[in-house]
Amino acid sequence: MNKNILAAIITLFVVLVGFQFAEPAAAVKVVDHGTIQYSACEKITWKAYQYQKNGKINNNFIKIYINYWTKNPKTNKYYIEIHEIDTIAKVTKNSVKITDWNDGVDGGTTVNYAKTKLTAAQYYWRVFKHEITTI
């Protein structure tokens, strides 16, 4: 048998065995999503994600993608006016870090800290989501 073919077969076997023992990658799970029409020609959509590893969801980090839509009166179709990405991360026992990025006119990144004993997920459900839905 040709040495190159034998080496390729052995390499392929080693890679396949390695995949069997490798730890599964963290999955991302959508934990919340929605749409709110807040005027005749403006709406907001969002999706919130949490990482999941070995069947357990990480409650100390959550990422939210928010889109602000505006209706074009000529075509009667919506277009995304602003993209926003927010992350909430538990950084100490008594605080969460809230990072906000958007590409609006005054866009950029802002970082705030909130003093709370809640996890990032609890903070999202009890505080942050309320801020999204009551614009």
Q: Residue 89 domain-assigned?
A: yes
pLDDT tens digits for 23-44? Answer: 555 688 899 999 999 888 999 9
Residue scoring higher pLDDT (2 or 29): 29
Q: By CB neighbour count within 10 A (0-12 exposed, 13-18 middle, 19+ buried), where does 121 fall?
A: buried
Q: Name the pTM for this structure.
A: 0.77
Decide if 80 is inside a domain: yes
Count how many domains the chain has: 1
Q: Say if 6 falls within a structural domain.
A: no
The pLDDT of residue 84 is: 96
**Quick check: 59 and 50 in contact, CB under 8 A?**
yes
Q: What is the mean pLDDT of the segment spanning 113-127?
A: 96
Q: Which domain holds residue 89?
A: 25-133
- Could you tell me if residue 34 is inside a domain? yes
Q: Is residue 11 part of a domain?
A: no
Per-residue pLDDT tens over the stretch 63-110: 999 999 999 999 999 999 999 999 999 999 999 999 999 998 888 999
pLDDT of residue 107: 83
Cα separation of 97 and 113, whole Å? 5
Tokens (6 digits) for 62 = 């959550």
The answer to whether residue 18 is domain-embedded is no
Residue 16 inside a domain? The answer is: no
